[in-house]
Amino acid sequence: MKLGLAAAAAVLVMGAAQANAQVYVSVNGGMSIMNDADATDTFTGGSGSGSIEHDNGYALTGAIGTTWGPVRIEGELGYRANDLDSLNVTSLTLAGVGTFSGLATASLDGDVSALTGMANVWYDIPTGTNWTPFLGGGIGFANVNMEINHVGTVATSLDDSDTVFAYQFGAGIGYKVSPQSTVTLSYRFLGTSDTEFSVGSETIESEYQNHSILLGLNYTF
Best mean pLDDT range from 46-55, 153-162, 190-199 = 190-199
- How confident is the model over 113-147, as pLDDT tens digits? 999 999 999 999 999 999 999 999 999 999 999 99
Greatest alpha-carbon span in the chain: 79
Question: pTM for this structure?
Answer: 0.85
Neighbours of 152 (CB within 10 A): 21
pLDDT of residue 19: 52
CA 127 – CA 118 distance, rounded (Å): 28
Strands 181-192 and 158-176: antiparallel
Average pLDDT taken over every residue of the chain: 88
Angstrom distances, CA of residue 73 to CA of 23, 93, 119: 10, 48, 8
DSSP 157: -
Neighbours of 166 (CB within 10 A): 23
- How confident is the model over 41-88, as pLDDT tens digits? 888 888 888 889 999 999 999 999 999 999 999 999 999 999 999 888
| 209 phi/psi in degrees, rounded to 5 | -135, 125
Residues with Cβ within 8 Å of residue 139, at least 6 apart in sequence? 118, 119, 165, 166, 167, 168
Domain ranges (residues) in the chain: 21-220
Residues with Cβ within 8 Å of residue 53, at least 6 apart in sequence? 36, 84, 85, 86, 87, 88
112 in Cβ contact with 84 (< 8 Å) = yes
Angstrom distances, CA of residue 173 to CA of 68, 136, 214: 18, 12, 11
Confidence tier at 188 by pLDDT (50, 70, 90) = very high
Class at the top of the CATH hierarchy for domain 21-220: mainly beta
CA 100 – CA 94 distance, rounded (Å): 8
Surface-to-core class of residue 208, CB atoms within 10 Å of its CB (0-12 exposed, 13-18 middle, 19+ buried): buried
